[in-house]
Chain A
Amino acid sequence: MSGEWILYIVFGATALVSAIGVVFLANPIHSALSLIGALASVAGLFLAQEAFFLSVVQIIVYTGAVVVLFLFVIMLLGIDSADPREEQLLRRQWFPWAFLGGVIGVGGLVLTITGIDLPFGVSGTDTADAVNEAGGNVQALSERLFTDWLLPFELTSILVVAAIVGGVVLAKRTKDLRGSGMGLTPDLAERISEEVEADAAEGELDPEDAFEADDVDPDPDSDAVLVGETSENGEG
């Protein structure tokens, strides 16, 4: 068995297992961890193809940066976002799209296995020898990138700028709406105060409980409950 085969089997298996983990693990952080494993395994697959540059870039960009972004987004989510009812709703809303994606994915898999060529897409002409002649992976890649694929390369930067603008608009809006810039979006605050009122109406939140939960403020109004949410106040 050649080195390529061993690497292919090992990393292919880990990629598959971690990808299944991403979908089925309940905890978002565990999913993200699994995603790290899946992306790192893909880097291993690149390694088996002697595409070491691609492999390292895969680790730097995907494993290193993109999943960090995901994790930061998870950190951004408040406690309430784990509300199971909302999750159900989300699932129902997105089910058609997920189904469509699944169909496309299975279709692609079938096409790959049967080996049918698609009418679009470009297959590379570079053989391993040609790459070696150019002086290695990096050299061959840059020569192609900065000549034949110049336009897509420049467009990448515009795509990236679009992503930044999107992120800025999101962050800016949340920041402006937050007033002091700490902790809560108005709709979240509204929802919490509604829940607090509901709890108070049901008698779940009597003054004594509130006193226990927060020694400073015995008043069972929304402020006492908000402390947990806005505890980042102390950090700024």
Chain B
Amino acid sequence: MEFDGWTALIGTGTVVAVFVVVMLMVILAVWAERRVAAVMQTRIGPNRAGPFGLLQTIADGIKLLMKESITPRQVDRLVYELAPLLAVLPAFLALAIVPFGPGFCIGGQGTDCSGGYFVDMQIANLNVGVLWFLSMSAIGVYAALLAGWGSGSKYPLLGGVRASAQVISYEAALSLSVVPVVVAAGTLDTQGIVLAQSQYRWFLLPLFIPALFFFVAALAETNRPPFDLVEAESELVGGFHTEYSGVRFMLFFLAEYVNVVTISALFVTFFLGGWTGPYPVAGSVNWAPLFGAIWFLAKTVCIIGIFFWLRVTLPRLRYDQLMALCWKRLIPINLVYLMAVAVWVAYQATGDLPRLVGGG
């Protein structure tokens, strides 16, 4: 493939498309969360701005943009200003490896798309896709820690240290629950992981425990209830972003919701077969990529829905329970399960039995 104007255009188009899709999803997610919570608590919820209150998020966003963004006197200016950036940027960057659909060919011939342009429905098709996601969420830890420290205030400091301890702990659990997926798929490439699950060999069934743990760790990693100790109002006021207001406060929330979308999309990629669906089988119809994207987004929305459902249903954990759950349950059990999966895969790689899980 030659690098020319078309490649640049396709690259730019993908980036813009992903931004638009994700921002729309975030805007809808904030609205949907409030409506779902309202329904479950027999309230009405936001219903004034636009039909069904759909424009509520936009109204709130404009409000926050127009609010005074106060910078308290005691803050460490550099660290204070940097923290929202370190929250938002890794959140978006992690999206780079989410495969929204199968790749397709424009104007080319054959399976290798000779003479045309192959478009990936993801920003970058990296060989180390899974690790890219993990590295971005690793950088995301700094947002809480630096916001807490940079604020020059007691509650944010406590909240920041707590938040980062929580996030790093669950980061370890999260990466360990992805390992069985990589073992089963035999690749770190997200597109490859989706392909390994084609024909309904979703990893959810054989890898149910890692999937469950991934979800639990995802809740904690994104500071969602029941793991939202970071902003436990009764103890820590607002947690690490107590001293933030106006647009900077909004950016922290934007990052949180982008993280929710990313991690739900990755749950779908790792365990629910990604963009594969009942119709059409990839390549059989011209519109296959579009259908792929629709399946993918539909599955992602379902997972985001579970995030909201759990928020309304479950009470917040205590901090000691949170840490014990991670280090005494999730990580050891994950390691044991990983070993079992590895034995199974090694048995299949060397023995005569047909492969049930994934392809090499």
Contact = CB atoms under 8 A, between A and B. Distances in A.
Given A59-B138, A60-B134, A68-B168, A138 B79 contact: no
Given A30-B78, A33-B146, A75-B161, A138 B139 contact: no
A64 B131 contact: no
Interface in A15-52: 27, 29-30, 33, 36, 52
Contact of B135 (A29, A30, A59, A138): A59
Contacts of B235: 235
By Cβ-Cβ distance, the 3 closest A-B pairs, closest first, are A64-B138, A59-B135, A56-B131
A60 B135 contact: yes
B126 interface: yes
Contact of B138 (A60, A75, A232): A60
B122 to A, nearest CB: 16
Given A63-B139, A68-B145, A235-B158, A136 B134 contact: no
A71 B131 contact: no
B127 A138 contact: yes
Contacts of A33: 78-79, 82, 146
Interface string B168-197: 100100000000000000001000000000
B128 interface: yes
A88 interface: no
Nearest to B175: A60
A38 to B, nearest CB: 14
A13 interface: no
A7 to B, nearest CB: 15
B128 A53 contact: yes
B141 A68 contact: yes
A200 B146 CA distance: 37
Interface in B113-150: 126-128, 131-132, 134-135, 138-139, 141-142, 145-146, 149
Given A56-B128, A56-B131, A60-B138, 12 more contacts: A29-B79, A30-B79, A52-B128, A53-B127, A60-B134, A65-B138, A65-B168, A68-B142, A68-B164, A72-B164, A138-B127, A235-B158
Majority DSSP secondary structure for residues of A touching B = helix
B138 A71 contact: no
Contacts of B138: 59-60, 63-65
B147 to A, nearest CB: 12
Interface string B313-326: 00000000000000
23 contacts: A29-B149, A33-B82, A33-B146, A52-B127, A52-B128, A53-B127, A56-B128, A56-B131, A56-B135, A60-B131, A60-B134, A60-B138, A64-B171, A68-B168, A71-B149, A71-B164, A72-B164, A75-B161, A136-B127, A137-B127, A231-B154, A232-B158, A235-B158
Nearest to A53: B128
A30 B78 CA distance: 9
Nearest to B126: A52
A188 to B, nearest CB: 19
A141 to B, nearest CB: 11
A98 interface: no
A59 B145 contact: no
A235 B157 CA distance: 12
A57 interface: yes
A141 B81 CA distance: 40
B234 to A, nearest CB: 12
Interface of B: 76, 78-79, 82, 126-128, 131-132, 134-135, 138-139, 141-142, 145-146, 149, 154, 158, 161, 164-165, 168, 171, 188, 235
A136 B126 CA distance: 11
Contacts of A136: 127
Nearest to A69: B168
A57 to B, nearest CB: 7
Contacts of B158: 232, 235
Contacts of A53: 127-128, 131
Contacts of B188: 138
Contacts of B82: 33
A41 to B, nearest CB: 14
Interface string A86-123: 00000000000000000000000000000000000000
A36 B134 contact: no
Nearest to B236: A235
Interface in A184-236: 231-232, 235
A123 to B, nearest CB: 25
A64 B128 contact: no
A68 B148 CA distance: 14
Nearest to A74: B149
B347 to A, nearest CB: 18
A56 B96 CA distance: 14
Residue of B127, B131, B132, B135 with most partner-chain A CB within 10 A: B135
B141 A64 contact: yes
Interface string A159-194: 000000000000000000000000000000000000
B132 A56 contact: yes
B76 A57 contact: no
A231 to B, nearest CB: 7
A29 B132 CA distance: 26
Contacts of A235: 158, 235
